[in-house]
Amino acid sequence: AFYDDKIITYANRPIRPVTLSQLVRFGQPPLTKASLRECAQYARTELPVRLARRVRAFQTLPFIVGTNPYIKEIYKLYYESFESLEPFSHDRTPNDDIEYSENLKDLVDRHADNIPTLARGFLECKQYMHAQDVAAFLDDMIHARIGIRLIAEQMIALVRQEQTGDTTDNSYIGIIDTQLNPAQLVKQCSDFVAELCEFNYGASPETIMDGHTDATFTYIPVHLEYILTELLKNAQRATVEFAKKRGLSQPPPIQITISHGQEDISIRIRDQGGGVAEDDLNQVFEYSYTTVAKASEDEDPSNIFTGIAEMAMQSGIGGPLAGLGFGLPLARMYARYFGGSFTLVSMNGYGCDVFLKLKHIDQSMAELEI
Ligand code: W6P
């Protein structure tokens, strides 16, 4: 096809990593034509490169895997997205930001279910690929997807900001919050998870918070929201199940400590859910695409995993993946995306500590290659 050569050309161009501070600078109020132009110019040249690289990644899969309907569907989606966005990279002085932004919205929507679809595809191709190769492909794909969506959504948000003339003194710059209060988001996420936990188990643990609960930093709320929801879901579920097993009338509380340091914001989530056996510790971060693919077929309403996934989907939080075997690897990928980390420490027979560390934006962390 006509676009095959173009895809090779674009895919061979280097990625230009985006930094949080760059994204913030683009949208620094007052939003000027020039800064919108700068962001648009970056998106217009960068997205085709990133999409072309995704197309190429699919082309490296074993031939038979590429014939799988689910895999092929996502491959075609990337190919078509490249075709629809590539023309926008040519104009030197484009005046079609609104049309471009509509295209990006379409891209974001159409790619919404990529990961469960890919999971389904790879499940059917198990006999043709090693699990490590699938995991490497998924790591690369999911990492790239985060970046593509970040650039697209920032552009969409800035165009909307310009359209609505919204220059109110809110703390948002596009999809970035310059005054994100982690304690507040922890509260919001733990209330949400507790409700689902209550619904599935008839009980939920209390959340106790201490440390620097007034701290604020610059971050992407939807990323932190995803990470926290995922971690809290695991912590609450383990706590309630372990309390039942021990015949406790009340599940013990989850303790959360927030600290605001020179370079990072740290969040420690401490549960008394019995901990994770040594042999299972590594597995916690492995893609379990079996569960993702299966969940939509046979949903067990008594299972908090599927229950939460279903409700999270309806409320728009977490998406269709929540708690389905992709949850923790994805949460860790979000944490690492801008140089953060999270570590799970098990106190066997008692509970788990999760240490989440996120860099302040002023350290100008760039998205990291994996
Ligand atoms: C557990 C297992 C787990 C995973 C992630 C976060 C917290 C917890 N607690 O027992």
What ipTM does the predicted assembly reach?
0.97
Residue type at 71? I
Q: Report the percent of the chain where pLDDT is more than 90.
A: 63
235 lines ligand 1 (CB under 6 A): yes
Position 207 pLDDT exceeds 80: yes
Mean pLDDT is highest, among 172-176, 228-232, 300-304, for 228-232
**Reported pTM:** 0.88
Q: Report the percent of the chain where pLDDT is more than 70.
A: 84
pLDDT in tens, 133-177: 999 999 999 999 999 999 999 999 889 888 887 666 678 888 889
Mean pLDDT of 38-58: 95
DSSP letter for 129, please.
S
Amino acid 301: pLDDT? 34
Amino acid 262: pLDDT? 86
Q: Is 318 left (phi over 0), alpha (psi -120 to 50) or beta?
A: left
Strand order in the sheet with 217-219: 172-173, 176-180, 217-219
Amino acid 93: pLDDT? 64
Length of the chain: 370
Amino acid 260: pLDDT? 95
159 lines ligand 1 (CB under 6 A): no
319 lines ligand 1 (CB under 6 A): no
Amino acid 225: pLDDT? 97
CB 159 within 8 A of CB 101: yes
Position 32 pLDDT exceeds 80: no
- The rounded mean pLDDT for the chain is 86
Give the position, in ligand 1's atom list, of the atom nearest the Cα of 351. Answer: 10
More confident residue, 318 or 81: 81
Mean pLDDT of 280-294: 72
Mean pLDDT of 204-231: 96
More confident residue, 31 or 133: 133
DSSP letter for 323, please.
T
Q: Which tokens hold the place of 133?
A: 């190769």
Position 37 pLDDT exceeds 90: no
Amino acid 348: pLDDT? 95
The mean-pLDDT minimum among 34-38, 176-180, 207-211 falls in 34-38
More confident residue, 130 or 94: 130
Position 365 pLDDT exceeds 70: no
Q: To test ligand 1's pocket by mutation, which of 189, 233, 236, 271 has the most ligand atoms within 8 angstroms of CB?
A: 271
Amino acid 23: pLDDT? 76
Decide: helix, strand or coil at residue 16.
coil
Position 121 pLDDT exceeds 50: yes
Amino acid 100: pLDDT? 93
Q: To test ligand 1's pocket by mutation, which of 231, 281, 308, 334 has the most ligand atoms within 8 angstroms of CB?
A: 231
CA 359 to chain centroid: 16
354 lines ligand 1 (CB under 6 A): yes
Amino acid 292: pLDDT? 54
CB 227 within 8 A of CB 263: no
